[in-house]
Amino acid sequence: MNKDKVLQLLEENARYSYEEMGVMLGIPADEVEKIVAQLEKEGIIRGYKVIVDRDKLKENVVSAIIELKVTPKRDLGFDEIAEKITQYPEVEDLYLMSGGYDLALLISCETFKDIAMFVAQRLATLDSVLSTATHFVLCRYKEKGLDVHFSQTDERRNVWY
């Protein structure tokens, strides 16, 4: 149960210290540390990353969601091609989907052309890929549960009772 609470806090903000989490949950800091270590050991926590508002950075970033239709391999299903695609550092997310296509991936590169090249040279050429459809991201509104576009203002200025 404390495990769930610690995870919930970390998912909210992975930078809370053990002590801060301990205070918020009413358990000792070293207990929190033990729980986190255990979660890491079990592979439940796979890593910690930062959520960046890329639009605020000077450098160019273009992202696209790419749909792939592929032929599954006997015995291996979709895992074989998924493993290959996972290796590309440009690929941020990769999912096997139900519905009209098989794999969905989110990739980010510097230019539109880079993405086009990636699709043409790296993806379309894979043996089992039947077709691709590339959808460019025009604007990011929300990422990992965080509003990364609109700045929320506190409108509560009127009553202090």
By CB under 8 A, name the binding residues for other proteins.
Answer: 9, 13, 20, 23-26, 154, 156-157, 159-161
The identity of residue 127, as a single letter, is: D
Provide CB contacts within 8 A for 144, sequence distance 6+. 51
Separation of alpha carbons 33 and 6, rounded Å: 10
Paired tokens of 85: 């695609």
Nearest distance in Å: CB 47, other proteins:
23
Nearer to other proteins, 125 or 141 (CB): 141
Nearer to other proteins, 139 or 159 (CB): 159
Nearest distance in Å: CB 8, other proteins:
9
Paired tokens of 38: 């255990």
CA 37 to chain centroid:
22
Nearest distance in Å: CB 154, other proteins:
7
The DSSP symbol for 91 reads: E
SS3 3: helix
Nearer to other proteins, 13 or 98 (CB): 13
Nearer to other proteins, 52 or 117 (CB): 52
Nearest distance in Å: CB 18, other proteins:
14
